[in-house]
Amino acid sequence: MRYWLMKSEPTDVSIDDLAAMPNQTVDWYGIRNYQARNFMRDQMSIGDGVFFYHSNCETPGIAGIAEVASRAYPDRLQFIAGHKYFDAKATLETPRWVNVDVKLVRKTRLLSLKEMRETPELANLRILQRGNRLSITPVDPKDWVYILELLEK
């Protein structure tokens, strides 16, 4: 089992939006970074843990816990001409971009980016590293456990 931190802008899909979706599941669409794509395609498995992170908002941070609910599959948006996620080089035979489905486990208190930065035990968390802007990052199992404990406070 692996653990991930996956960012979503709450104006696009928030933790509350996920809670209101059918089966409390969303396809993690629109990833257009090769490293993040490769994480979904090559490393994610059904049941992997996910910290659902609100980004690009007033108070960014972890807003809930989810799990990977599907294997990677082609992102349908890459094939829609005119869509902001359209990719002219992608074909049905050779898609370039993938999604996984993410299912809500539970909403949590907001563990803010500020609080994470102020927690020395999380110093190695990839989201806290300078220059890291990936929307999907792996989380070390010890950091996963520690963050779960922080979310209970």
pLDDT of residue 131: 84
User: Does the reported pTM lie above 0.85?
Assistant: yes
CATH topology of domain 3-151: ph1033 like fold (3.10.590)
Query: What are 122-139's pLDDT values in tens digits?
Result: 999 999 998 888 999 999
pLDDT of residue 132: 84
User: CB–CB of 65/15 below 8 Å?
Assistant: no
Average pLDDT, the chain: 96
For the chain, give every domain's residue range: 3-151
The strand pair at 49-54 and 3-8 is best described as: parallel
DSSP for 94-111? S---EE-EEEEEEEEEEE
Q: Which two tokens mark 100?
A: 């996984």
3-state helix, strand, coil in the chain (%, to 5): 30, 25, 45
- Dihedral Cα 65, 66, 68, 69, nearest 10 deg: 160
Q: Tell me the backbone φ, ψ of residue 40, rounded to 5 degrees.
A: -65, -45
Q: Which two tokens mark 122?
A: 């999380």
DSSP for 48-81? -EEEEEE-SSSS-EEEEEEEE-S--EE-GGGGST
Query: What are 52-99's pLDDT values in tens digits?
Result: 999 999 999 999 999 999 999 999 999 999 999 999 999 999 999 999
